[in-house]
Structure 1
Amino acid sequence: MKNIILWAILGLFLGAPNTAHAQILKKLKKKVEQKVEKEIDKTTDKEEEKDLKQVDSIQGIKKEPAQVVNNEVQQPTKAAELTLNWSKYDFVPGTKVIYDDNLVGEENGEFPARWDLIRGNVEIAEFGGENVIMFRDGAPTIVPYMKNASEDYLPDVFTIEFDLYCGKDNFVIYLFDRKNQKSGSPTGYTYFNIKFDRMEMGRSASRLPQENLEQRRWIHVAIAYTNGKLKGYIDQTRLINIPRIDFDPKGVSLHSYHCSNDNLYYVKNFRIAEGGVKYYDRVMQDGKIIANGIRFDTGKATLKPESMGIINEIVQMMQEHPELKFSVEGHTDSDGSDADNLALSEKRAHTVKSTMVQLGISADRLTTAGLGESAPIDTNGTPEGKANNRRVEFVKQ
């Protein structure tokens, strides 16, 4: 109604020749334009809000109010859900990567270049836009292709991690190289049986507590060995905890007896790392913690769930030692441009800080910095070297 009146008033001055009328006309015209823009903005905001509600409804998202943590406003995000669901995850990967295969550059249909075949059919496939190792048939078994595979290539303290898409039956991880080594164990503590919801080793077995889990799904498998003590994890849950096993693991083999074209298994992001001293001792000795086990989606600052073991450990240490303050510093390998890597490392450092703040660490105890590819600690000429260079450092302040 107000717009109609304004346009009517304008009409009285149309054709008015004198300067005064022209000035009035100009002012009224400006007011009308401002009024129209304001009405358009209101309509747009309402439409955007309606669209967002529809998207949230489709995705099953329930909006929660923003919370204030340590004087910082924290908007509920998937990252907050991640820190909640994985807040008790205590797996900490080794500090130096000794074998890493992210399948970059592999060709679909070919045998994975960084593995050796013992039996069966295994090939590279594409799953969800990523390269994966596909176990097809023939009870396939593969071992990491390493120059000294006939020797003991697992140290006294090591971790193994990979992502597994489960079939309908067991997937097996042997803690010896079935091509080059003998098990040396009389009691069966040489291998893990893994299904989508359980893990078994020797006489130890445990299932995930969740109900209604999908049988065919991606899980994150993690194994930690420390001078005879062995732990096993599926996703955020520790399922195996053996205080002493009766043999010395020397290698690793992956095996799938029951796979077939209608019961395929997939593996990706396989990594072996050598362990190290506890974080607090490392801070006191070196003045910093180097964490290459904090991982992100490729080319993004989105934190992967398995990173929470390290973050939880450092958060607990900071809670026990309130005098500690850190600069959280992101580093990348040499892939990509200098500028992109610098920006990416800064975003990743900020993501880690935000996650730690959500877990209760005061924001004034953490600063962030991104150094991109400028400070490598290993070669960028091998997959293992790149994996060591892709890291987050917590530098004592």
Structure 2
Amino acid sequence: MKRYFIISIALALFSLNADAQIFKKIKKSAERTIERKLEKKVGKETGKAMDTILDGKDEKSSKTSNKNNNSTIEKEDENKENPQFAEPQTTITQAVVWSKYNFVPGDKIIFDDNLSNEESGEFPSRWDLVKGSAENASLNGDNIIRIARTGIITPLMDNKDYLPEIFTIEFDAYYDANAVGYKNYNVRFWSGSGGYKNPSGDTFKAIYIAHDGISFVSYIDKQYRSLKQKNETLKNKYGWRHIAMAFNKRSLKIFIDEQRVLNLPNLGMEPQQFSIESNFQDNNFIGGIKNIRIAEGGKDLYERVMNDGKFVTNGILFNVNKSTIKPESMGVLNEVAKMMQDHQDLNFNIVGHTDSDGADDYNKNLSAERANSVKSILLSMGISSNRFQTEGKGESEPVAENTTPEGKANNRRVEFVKI
């Protein structure tokens, strides 16, 4: 009897312990569910930021009449909503996050691929294969180019050596936090899959771009040069990262999100073309790139205003069919704020423009709302409201044909006209 009593107590204790474990699991599951919902909500709010001058407005025609049968339009559910003014709190929050970002993209877009109208599983139509394999895919609802391990792709361009002496390159790269070992995207400014040797005998390896820094090896004047730059702020940040590169005759700067990870006064070579390689250790690595853009030029903003009475930028980006500004735009906006602080006599009419996709009235209203969002950001940075006017001109003043992705991207712009 005593034995049965002891066994009963043991079973009861085991049951209590099991119940406790179950309750703990339920609690953790609930916490994870709440956390996912919060992340989704925050992500949705953050994502309302700026897809348009670049690729935002291209997607809006799904809810309006489209006059261009050749337009590249993604028809997403969110596009069924009418565009709204950016909420000031959201806008100000984004401005704070990228407050030190000073990357300013080039003036003229020579390659722009937002992967719209690409068919999943096929090779990307605006690229060429250098090595390995690559295909169009979808990652969490985003159209991406998935490059197989050690695969290399390069944009299809009319000229072989198309990079000018001053240019910028931007793309979004995905870094899988669960992948084992190293995970890099390698960038080359020359053809082929190996290194590069210039006429002087100097040699260069590809630039390795990790989620938190870069590494770059070269041999110049028989001297070995190894650059390895890591940023602690980026150490635990995975997922999508925005990569931005600016080359000016000889100097090269590279940014990962808002952090500058390379400032090289002399690259030591003349870039000719651009390719990107997927370089990772884990065969199960989930990676890809999207929103690839190459632009020419990059003159000082104040110089442009003094010479032309205005400056034009394609670097202020908005969410699809929205007027909320993406954080990548803060490089341009930070420079505008600094210029206006340094030159108190400068006042601007901020003019928004769109491409020809969608109805005229819709485009005009959207461009006006985006101009107001730009003004709101600058007001949050301490610039007085009496120094601005805003205007939306929609598609009425194109600077390029609306028959190519590059033409549309150049038409989606913001102008700061001196008043």
Q: Indicate conservation of the 8 Å contact 1:153/1:251, yes or no.
A: yes
Supply the distance in 2 between the matched residues of 1:145 and 1:270 (Cα, whole angstroms).
12
In the other structure, the counterpart of 1:158 is: 167
- Whole-angstrom distance in 1 between the partners of 2:234 and 2:169: 27
Q: Report if aligned partners of 1:135, 1:259 keep a CA contact under 8 Å in 2.
A: no
Closer/same/farther in 2, CA of residues 90 and 188 from structure 1, 3 Å limit: farther
Tell me the secondary structure at the aligned position of residue 134 of structure 2. strand
1:47 match: none
310, 313, 325: which one aligns with 1:303: 325
**Paired position in structure 1 for 2:124:** 112
Q: Which amino acid aligns with 1:223?
A: M
Pick the aligned partner of 2:337 from 315, 321, 329.
315
Provide the C-alpha distance between the structure 2 equivalents of 1:211 and 1:163, rounded to a whole number of angstroms: 15
State the match for 2:96 in structure 1: 84
Offset at 1:191? Answer: 2.8
- Cα pair 1:259 1:265 within 8 Å, conserved: no
Q: Which has the larger radius of gyration?
A: 1
Cα deviation, residue 264, structure 1: 2.4
Matched, 1:274 2:296: yes
Residue number in structure 1 paired with 2:307: 285
Separation in 2, partners of 1:175, 1:58? 41
Q: TM-score, normalised by structure 2?
A: 0.73
Match of 1:222? 244
The amino acid that maps onto 2:393 is L
Q: Percent identity?
A: 43
Tell whether the 8 Å contact from 1:342 to 1:371 is kept in structure 2 after alignment.
yes
The size of the alignment, in residue pairs, is: 327
Alpha-carbon distance change, 161 to 212 in structure 1, aligned in 2, over 3 angstroms: closer
1:200 aligns with 2:200: no
In the alignment, which of 173, 183, 190 is matched to residue 176 of structure 1? 190
Flag the 1:85–1:386 CA change in 2: closer, same or farther, 3 A: same
CA distance in 1, matches of 2:92, 2:283: 39
Q: 1:180 to 1:377 in 2, by over 3 A?
A: farther
Structure 1 segment 27-42 matched on structure 2, within 5 A: none
Q: Secondary structure at the match of 1:394?
A: strand
Q: TM-score, normalised by structure 1?
A: 0.77
Report the counterpart of residue 209 of structure 1 in structure 2. 232
Given that residues 111 and 293 in structure 2 are in contact (C-alpha distance below 8 angstroms), is that contact kept between their aligned partners in structure 1?
yes
Change over 3 Å in CA distance of 1:75–1:336 after alignment to 2: closer
Q: Structure 1: how far apart are the matches of 2:126 and 2:282? A: 23
* One-letter amino acid of the structure 2 residue matched with residue 159 of structure 1: T
CA change 1:183–1:112 in 2 (3 A) is farther
Distance (whole Å) between structure 1 residues aligned to residue 116 and residue 417 of structure 2 = 31
Other-structure match for 1:9:
none
- For structure 2, the 5+ residue unaligned runs are 1-33, 43-85, 218-225
* Distance of aligned partners of 1:274 and 1:345 in 2 relative to their CA distance in 1, 3 Å threshold: same
Conservation of the 8 A alpha-carbon contact between 1:160 and 1:271: yes
Q: Which moved more, 1:256-265 or 1:317-326?
A: 256-265
Higher relative contact order (CA 8 A, sep 6+): 2
**Counterpart in the other structure of 1:132:** 144
- In structure 2, relative to structure 1, the CA distance for the partners of 1:356 and 1:186 (3 Å cut) is farther
Please tell me whether the aligned partners of residues 136 and 260 of structure 1 are also in contact (alpha carbons under 8 angstroms).
no
State the one-letter code of the partner of 2:122: E
Asked if 2 retains the 8 angstrom alpha-carbon contact of 1:143 and 1:179, the reply is no
Shift of 1:208: 2.1
Is the aligned partner of 1:364 residue 2:397? no
| Counterpart contact for 1:89–1:237, Cα < 8 Å | yes
Indicate which of 133, 148, 160 corresponds to 2:159: 148
Give SS of 1:170's match. Answer: strand
Distance 2:407 2:333 in 1: 22
Unaligned runs of 5+ in 1: 1-53, 62-73
